Amino acid sequence: MVSTFCCFGSQKIDEAPTTTFGGVVKNSWRIFTYKELHTATNGFSEENKLGEGGFGSIAVKKLKAMNSKAEMEFAVEVEVLGRVRHKNLLGLRGYCAGGADQRLIVYDYMPNLSLLSHLHAHFSSDLQLHWQRRFNIAIGSAQALLYLHHEVTPHIIHRDIKASNVLLNSDFEPLVADFGFAKLIPEGVSHMTTRVKGTLGYLAPEYAMWGKVSESCDVYSFGILLLELVTGRKPIEKLPNGLKRTITEWAEPLIAQGRFRDLVDPRLRGNYDENQVKQTVNVAALCVQTEPEMRPNMKQVVSYLKGCEPQAQVMKTRIDGVKYSDELVELDQTSEDDDDDEDEGKGYGVFSALHVEKMHDPYKHGGHKKMAKPV
């Protein structure tokens, strides 16, 4: 879908002008010409691709193919990035929409790439993610979602929270990125029905089954991310017999038995804060409950992780999770090519193969929402 390039040395892009709001100075985004970005990236050279070297101050994301789906995601990302301002959200430096196939987004370059790179890819063997960095990444990412869900107007649902969309700056501070699937929620609207987008393993069941998207879907995805940070495992892993297992299926019995040490990434070699690990796992268990009304909101999640809630004590928690069917996995591999049309009439979205025991549509009937809490 996209290629990302970084800008080097003498080809540095001019800084955007600054503006002042309430005494706080912030960089504004600007519109770039295609020629500027073409020159800055040395003609979008393969050598300048993000992740393969360079120490530039910006990154340029360029669409590989131009179609209606790509155009929509480009427009959404520019709109969302242009209206949000938070230390844990990737900032927009500018964009280019020159010719028919010239769609580029310019943002701050993150020298430590993404959380995915350190957990499962390029730097997974470098052991740079010690426990305190992981815990800080959890809190910073949670604060970014709190801002999107509760502080910015209209509220924003990210819809694609995952390790590759949590970027890391030079100090390993997290910045949530990639808003191509984001939804802006009007005031007073609790949820929306839409074609399912996102990544299997992170998808909330009500979203995967019925296409019902709400802030609670991001909470579910964030719970999976917390489990990734603690365990170092992928959301879905392939077993030697060819079957696939979700991280919740693997973690559920260990959490139920209170075997927290067996959950922790062995690469940490026992160097972690046991209370922080327990609290993180228990918050994750709350976030990935099957029923959305049983999940906390992001204000609560931040409070639990920080230990601000009086009742946010470590407790023994069970995961009431879901099991993805093989049919769903096959559907997910091809679903990204579907059109992004809103389609409430389809009823079950593109992921109707997901099986959940005794699960009802949580939005079909009104009622008081109950919320599980650590006690």
Phi-psi region of 46 (alpha: psi -120 to 50; beta: other; left: phi over 0): alpha
Q: Look at residue 226 and give its three-state secondary structure.
A: helix
Q: Look at residue 256 and give its three-state secondary structure.
A: helix
Cα separation, 226 vs 283, whole angstroms: 8
Smallest CA-to-CA distance from 214 within 286, 293, 328 is with 293
Is the omega angle on the peptide bond into residue 17 within 30 degrees of 0, that is, cis?
no
Helix axes 274-287, 298-306, angle to 10 degrees: 170
Beta bridge partners of 94: 30, 106
Catalytic member of 101, 108, 160, 218 = 160
DSSP 289-313: -SSGGGS--HHHHHHHHHT-STT--
Amino acid at 46: E
In sequence order, which ranges of 307-352 are alpha helices (DSSP H)? 326-335
Q: Look at residue 184 and give its three-state secondary structure.
A: strand
Task: Decide: 205 and 359 in contact? Cβ < 8 Å.
Answer: yes
Which one-letter DSSP state was computed for residue 149?
Answer: I
Which two tokens mark 215? 């802030």
Tell the burial category of 348 from Cβ atoms under 10 Å away from its Cβ (0-12, 13-18, 19+): middle
| Cα 344 versus chain centre, distance | 25
Which one-letter DSSP state was computed for residue 352?
Answer: T
Is residue 160 part of the annotated active site? The answer reads yes
Which two tokens mark 5? 């390039």
In sequence order, which ranges of 84-212 are alpha helices (DSSP H)? 115-119, 131-146, 205-210
Which two tokens mark 139? 């809190």
Q: Look at residue 200 and give its three-state secondary structure.
A: coil
Catalytically active residues, by annotation: 160
